[in-house]
């Protein structure tokens, strides 16, 4: 069990302190790194002795996911996590947790194949197009210009100019 501070459980989601929630989110990212131990193996021939170190996974690493974070934090559903992120007391902390997960997926875009990361990022609101506004948005912000004439009327030729 993570060592974060969990105060009171409600029906839909747990209640957190800001420090406790930050710790739990950090604990989640540590947890998904997995756990391993190192074993040394020695091989000896007549003339040499070699030692090799092998990493043995006790619990393999896991990918960072929104649902995994929600489960780790004690939420009863993804919807209650989303609701708390939208209107909870520590919404900014959960948004940073989500941003850390998005950063992990964004790193995977540089690996091949990246289709899984692209799918996940699209479901998080990313899109392929730049953030340009469609033409329909521009038409609603039409600027009207009215030309006011002040002073003498401009001359149409040099002959009309008198000094």
Residue whose token pair is 């964004």: 106
The SS3 of residue 38 is: strand
**How do residues 73-128 score in pLDDT, each as one tens digit?**
999 999 999 999 998 889 999 999 999 999 998 888 888 788 888 888 888 788 86
84 versus 144: the higher-pLDDT residue is 84
Within the chain, where are the H helices? 18-31, 66-73, 78-87, 91-108, 115-123, 135-139
**How do residues 11-69 score in pLDDT, each as one tens digit?**
456 788 999 999 999 999 999 999 999 999 888 887 888 888 999 999 999 999 999 99
Quick one: 22 exposed, middle or buried, by C-beta within 10 A (0-12, 13-18, 19+)?
middle
Q: pTM for the complete prediction?
A: 0.62
Q: What is the DSSP letter of 163?
A: -
- The pLDDT assigned to 26 comes to 96
Q: What is the DSSP letter of 74?
A: T
161 versus 20: the higher-pLDDT residue is 20
- The pLDDT assigned to 48 comes to 84
Domain ranges of the chain: 6-33+62-127
As given in the structure block, the two tokens for residue 3 are 């060592």
């Amino acid at each position: 069990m993570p060592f974060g501070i969990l105060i009171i459980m409600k029906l839909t989601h747990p209640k957190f302190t800001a420090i406790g929630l930050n710790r739990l989110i950090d604990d989640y990212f540590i947890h998904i790194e997995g756990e391993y131990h190192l074993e040394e193996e020695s091989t000896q021939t007549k003339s040499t002795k070699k030692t090799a170190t092998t990493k043995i996974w006790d619990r393999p690493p896991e990918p960072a996911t929104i649902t995994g974070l929600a489960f780790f934090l004690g939420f009863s559903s993804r919807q209650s996590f989303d609701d708390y992120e939208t209107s909870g007391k520590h919404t900014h902390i959960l948004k940073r947790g989500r941003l850390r997960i998005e950063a992990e997926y964004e790193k995977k875009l540089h690996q091949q194949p990246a289709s899984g990361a692209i799918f996940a990022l699209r479901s998080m609101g990313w899109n392929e197009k730049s953030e340009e506004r469609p033409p329909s948005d521009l038409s609603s912000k039409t600027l009207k210009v009215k030309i006011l004439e002040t002073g003498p009327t401009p001359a149409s030729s040099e002959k009309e100019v008198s000094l």
